[in-house]
């Protein structure tokens, strides 16, 4: 006898040990969420007892020592002997029940088994005390350190009521957060009170003295009112309650207001279904159908009119959908099991809502008219917005020619295709400096906004739809694609000027790809260049130098006894004069000519030319792993 008892108790401790080893499997997490989950677990048991019709009040107290208690006035947890020779109470708190909410397989339902979760909570506690009032007697049992029995079930005193109370203090070494959040608890309890009309919840925080008593007679309507926003309701709340097919019970409230937000809340067996599911989508389609049917029947929607869409119908709608599904039909989906999968719920909810809503609209004409008018308005706005977008798009098309001519280009004063230079500059602000710093006699500036379209796999027609690239083509003035005639180029040099960072490198690659694919003769003629802005300015007093690479900086340092260093993160950090001196003046700048054979080893050469910056190169490759320039180009060359 004693042998088997020991064996069993070892098994039990191992069971609870599993909970402590992997708390996340049983309560989701060990942060504030998990901490409060412990409270919901125990509270659900108290709620189940009340739902069974035993007790109408539940108390919750937060204590100064970091513990919390939940009390119900039900029948009292069983205190009798269990077959294992232990009290049933001990079994409830020490035997791990199958199907944890976060483990494989199982899912949680309120109204399910009593006691599931109590042992999990116990396993994660510094202490737990269970008190039971039953048959005129108060009993108590205490556990510590995750389920170890401190005292076997003992009689405390005579009482005249029945019920259960569980007080527990979560283990501080397991949870990263051990302070109970009063507001969070009140809001959770409030939600329960809305869903469980007729049960009173009292919350007391002994740390602060704050308390709250939550009781709603007509919970769903109270919930609806609670959710009410600034917007004005269009009618009295809609409330349908009854039995649908397959034994699925439905409780539904809804109210339209003159606002624009949709709030849909759905629950299955009192568990919130954040991700919706079959019941929620059924309600939505039934609602849309009932509205459209009504609008057609009453000639509000004419034959030529399109149906209202779901988003029109639900604009300004607050709704709460509660379904109770027999346990054998329950099916949850998704990672967090918060989406209903039960197929039967679709049919049950759809026909229930359709039938009731159709009847409601017929019987409440003034409400129906207000609702339909509002929906009509939403639909009109949606259609107008669509039209406005389409118009804007068409207008763009027509205005294109014009804009290309005026454009963003700052042209050169002289017209000399043998000498003129076109700077393609990353960003408007650098474009501004370049415009000021340039020699406007022969240098033209075209600022580029943001990323350039990747033309790797695009057809010419698509490329020309892109504003940035068609502007470049138009500015160069030598055509594009098969029509490109390099002799017609308005510029002797096309110079790409970007920041010396990964974005800049990316823009260069995209532009070169564009030239390679659609203006190749330009590259073959050696007319495309990359400007090399300095990375550093080293200075002391009036003396200064620019460094274009890390090595150059090291060499330059030797010429200074002491120095200041400015690192240029972008072109924008240079003023117009500096930009001229370092990057644009034919006297002092460094340009990299991009030739066609470069492309065979494009990325290697490219980054060498970018100035020896292995970090940048690595970063760039890491960020753009899918961009395999070298392969693509070599492929086309062979
Ligand atoms: C205080 C916080 C959490 C609970 C009860 C009441 C009973 C019970 C709980 O039974 C399952 C059922 C009988 C063996 C049921 C008492 C029937 C008769 C109960 C709670 C299995 C457990 N008498 N109240 N469990 N029994 N309150 N509050 O947990 O057959 S749990």
CA-nearest residue, atom 23 of ligand 1: 75
CA-nearest residue, atom 30 of ligand 1: 78
What is the C-alpha to C-alpha distance for residues 124 and 584, in angstroms, rounded to an integer? 69
Predicted confidence at residue 586, as pLDDT, reads 92
Cα–Cα distance list, 367 to 224, 378, 534 (Å): 17, 17, 71
What is the C-alpha to C-alpha distance for residues 464 and 472, in angstroms, rounded to an integer? 10
What is the C-alpha to C-alpha distance for residues 612 and 593, in angstroms, rounded to an integer? 17
| Cβ atoms 99, 106 nearer than 8 A | yes
Give Cα 105 to chain centroid, integer Å: 26
577 is catalytic: no
Query: What is the Å distance from ligand 1's center to 246 Cα?
Result: 29
Predicted confidence at residue 248, as pLDDT, reads 97
Strands 210-214 and 148-158: unpaired
Q: Is 71 touching ligand 1 by the criterion CB < 6 Å?
A: yes
Residue spans of beta strands (DSSP E) within 46-159: 57-62, 68-72, 125-134, 137-144, 148-158
Query: What is the Å distance from ligand 1's center to 76 Cα?
Result: 6
Predicted confidence at residue 526, as pLDDT, reads 86
Instruction: Point out the catalytic residue in the list 293, 501, 550, 619.
Output: 501
pTM: 0.62
* Mean pLDDT of successive 10-residue stretches along the chain, which has 638 residues: 49 77 87 93 94 95 98 95 83 74 38 62 97 96 94 94 97 95 92 95 97 96 87 94 96 93 91 92 96 95 92 93 94 84 96 97 96 92 69 48 58 92 89 92 89 73 81 88 87 92 77 84 88 90 89 91 89 89 90 65 42 44 30 29
Predicted confidence at residue 479, as pLDDT, reads 86
Q: Is 164 touching ligand 1 by the criterion CB < 6 Å?
A: yes
Cβ atoms < 10 Å from Cβ of 69: 18
Instruction: Point out the catalytic residue in the list 503, 573, 581, 630.
Output: 503
φ/ψ of residue 613, rounded to 5: -130, 80
Query: What is the Å distance from ligand 1's center to 108 Cα?
Result: 17
Query: What domains, with CATH codes, occur in the chain?
Result: 17-214 (3.30.565.10), 220-381 (3.30.230.10), 407-533+568-624 (3.40.50.670)
φ/ψ of residue 159, rounded to 5: -135, 165
């Amino acid at each position: 006898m004693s042998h088997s008892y020991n064996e069993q108790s070892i098994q039990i401790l191992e069971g609870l040990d599993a909970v402590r080893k992997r708390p996340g499997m049983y309560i989701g997490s060990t942060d504030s969420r998990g901490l409060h989950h412990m409270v919901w677990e125990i509270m659900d048991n108290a709620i189940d007892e009340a739902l069974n019709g035993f007790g109408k009040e539940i108390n919750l107290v937060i204590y100064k020592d970091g513990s919390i208690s939940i009390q119900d006035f039900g029948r009292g947890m069983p205190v009798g002997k269990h077959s294992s020779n232990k009290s049933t109470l001990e079994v409830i708190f020490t035997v791990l029940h199958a199907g944890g909410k976060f483990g494989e397989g199982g899912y949680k339902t309120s109204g399910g088994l009593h006691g599931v979760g109590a042992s999990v909570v116990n396993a994660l506690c510094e202490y737990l005390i269970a008190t039971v009032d039953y048959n005129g007697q108060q009993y108590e049992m205490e556990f510590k350190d995750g389920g170890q029995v401190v005292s076997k079930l003992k009689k405390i005193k005579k009482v005249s009521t029945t019920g259960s109370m569980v007080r527990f203090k979560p283990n501080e070494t397991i949870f990263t957060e051990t302070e109970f959040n009063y507001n969070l608890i009140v809001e959770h309890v409030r939600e329960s009170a809305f869903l469980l009309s007729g049960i009173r919840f009292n919350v007391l925080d002994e740390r602060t003295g704050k308390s709250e008593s939550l009781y709603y007679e007509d919970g769903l309507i109270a919930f609806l009112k609670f959710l009410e926003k600034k917007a004005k309701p269009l009618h009295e709340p809609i409330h349908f309650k009854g039995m649908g097919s397959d034994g699925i019970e439905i409780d539904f409230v809804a109210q339209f207001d003159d606002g624009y937000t949709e709030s849909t809340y759905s629950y299955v067996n009192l568990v919130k279904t954040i991700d919706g599911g079959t019941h929620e989508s059924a309600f939505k389609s039934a609602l849309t159908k009932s509205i459209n049917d009504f609008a057609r029947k009453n000639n509000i929607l004419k034959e030529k009119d399109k149906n209202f869409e779901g988003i029109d119908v639900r604009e300004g709608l607050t709704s709460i959908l509660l379904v109770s599904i027999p346990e054998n039909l329950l099916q949850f989906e998704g990672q967090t099991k918060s989406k209903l999968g039960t197929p039967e719920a679709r049919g049950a909810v759809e026909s229930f809502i359709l039938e009731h809503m159709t009847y409601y609209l017929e019987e409440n004409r003034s409400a129906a008219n207000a609702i339909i008018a509002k929906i009509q308005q939403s639909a009109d706005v949606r259609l107008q917005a669509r039209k406005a977008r389409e118009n804007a798009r068409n207008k763009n098309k027509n205005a294109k020619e014009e804009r290309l001519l005026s454009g963003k280009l700052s042209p050169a004063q002289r017209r000399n295709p043998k000498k003129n230079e076109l700077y393609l500059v990353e960003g408007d602000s650098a474009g501004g400096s370049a415009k000021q710093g340039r020699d406007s006699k022969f240098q033209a500036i075209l600022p580029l906004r943001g990323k350039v379209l990747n033309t790797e796999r695009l057809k010419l027609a698509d490329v020309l739809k892109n504003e940035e690239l068609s502007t470049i083509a138009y500015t160069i003035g030598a055509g594009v694609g098969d029509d490109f005639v390099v002799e017609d180029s308005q510029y002797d040099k096309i110079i790409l000027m970007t920041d010396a960072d990964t974005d800049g490198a990316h823009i260069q690659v995209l532009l070169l790809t564009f030239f390679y694919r659609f203006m190749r003769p330009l590259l073959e003629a050696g007319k495309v260049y990359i400007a090399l802005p300095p990375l550093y300015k080293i200075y002391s007093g009036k003396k200064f130098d620019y460094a274009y690479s890390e090595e150059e900086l090291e060499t330059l340092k030797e010429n200074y006894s002491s120095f200041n260093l400015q690192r240029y993160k972008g072109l924008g950090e240079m003023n117009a004069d500096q930009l001229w001196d370092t990057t644009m003046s034919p006297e002092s700048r460094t340009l990299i000519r991009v030739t066609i054979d470069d492309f065979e080893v494009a990325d290697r050469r490219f980054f060498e030319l970018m100035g020896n910056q292995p970090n940048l190169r690595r970063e760039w490759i890491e960020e753009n792993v899918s961009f395999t320039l070298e392969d693509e180009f070599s492929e086309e060359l062979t």
